[in-house]
Chain A
């Protein structure tokens, strides 16, 4: 048995997670725990409780599902919400669905899992004892290598850090009574967000209403702020500064 105290061992494991990052965050301990489970090719669920409740499901060390009480699950609207039937689950081919239908269905599962994992890793949640052999319901599963998921989660955290001075998933936004331009064009998604903005609206709440990812909805809310169609406390589109511009390439450049 190892002579290294349990907490110290966890921090040593976390030290290799994101080099250069302080090893004092609980997020790193979660990542270290997940890495250990993946290395052991574990099957089961790592449950979380606290700020956000949920779990990350593994099968043979690969992430097959994740859910959080603070992000919409795929099942809230399911494939029907995407205009897709059960046939979209089958692999594309001559007898199967068209590639885009299949990809959209697979993406819906993966996006829900990544969105939930981002929330669980980033929030103040605490993980509990791993529950072996607890697997998601049939039809829910995706299949993502843990390292791929962690890389994507960290990329999204960098994007959210860019957005943080302007808007977060929990920032209250309001619709502007007057437009800053004589005419504007919005996408169907942006319109569906705009018409749902009521008193106390947040990106997280809008995401739940539309059964979309919280991360994607937060970015879309930011774009509506940039168009001057929404307002957030302390943000004036006329006084927007350079760092207010969200940039995926800047987030990629910060990769360590």
Chain B
């Protein structure tokens, strides 16, 4: 992480049931700014890079479709884990992304999504 002093900002996310990993990513460069990890078995660089690629592809899709909308969040469901990607601030030009990886068997998706949304609102307000 390029800004380890920012790791503590992610502490509220660690309280979500089933938490495995959270990180803040600079969307324009793909650089990981800060991270918190419950288990060492997740490759942080690959996870962050994948999340940034997803956000960038959706930005390209949005550009081509000219929907006039902005990305709210992305939820990816794997057999045993959930990936959530959310711009910290909802604007047409999101600079910082939040990636959260959760254990699917221990997570209530609706509650987790709400917690992440509230975290982003308080982070950016």
Contacts and interface: CB of A to CB of B under 8 A. Distances in A.
Contact of B3 (A92, A100, A107, A248): A107
Interface stretch (A16-24, A42-50, A166-174, A218-226): A218-226
B88 A100 contact: yes
B2 A114 contact: yes
Given A100-B89, A187-B92, A252-B49, A159 B30 contact: yes
Nearest to A246: B56
Given A251-B49, A252-B46, A103 B24 contact: yes
Interface in A234-256: 247-249, 251-253, 255
A152 B31 contact: yes
A123 to B, nearest CB: 19
Interface residues of A, number: 45
B6 A106 contact: yes
A7 to B, nearest CB: 32
Interface residues of B, number: 43
Contact of A185 (B3, B31, B56, B62): B62
Interface in B1-60: 1-6, 9, 24, 26, 28-31, 33-34, 43, 45-46, 48-50, 52-53, 56, 59-60
A3 interface: no
B123 A106 contact: no
A189 B123 contact: no
Interface of A: 91-92, 98-100, 103-104, 106-107, 110-111, 114, 143-145, 148-149, 152, 155-156, 159, 181, 183-190, 213, 215-216, 219-220, 223, 226-227, 247-249, 251-253, 255
Interface of B: 1-6, 9, 24, 26, 28-31, 33-34, 43, 45-46, 48-50, 52-53, 56, 59-60, 62-68, 88-89, 91-93, 95-96, 123-125
12 contacts: A91-B5, A100-B96, A107-B33, A110-B2, A111-B29, A155-B31, A155-B45, A216-B26, A219-B29, A227-B60, A247-B53, A255-B45
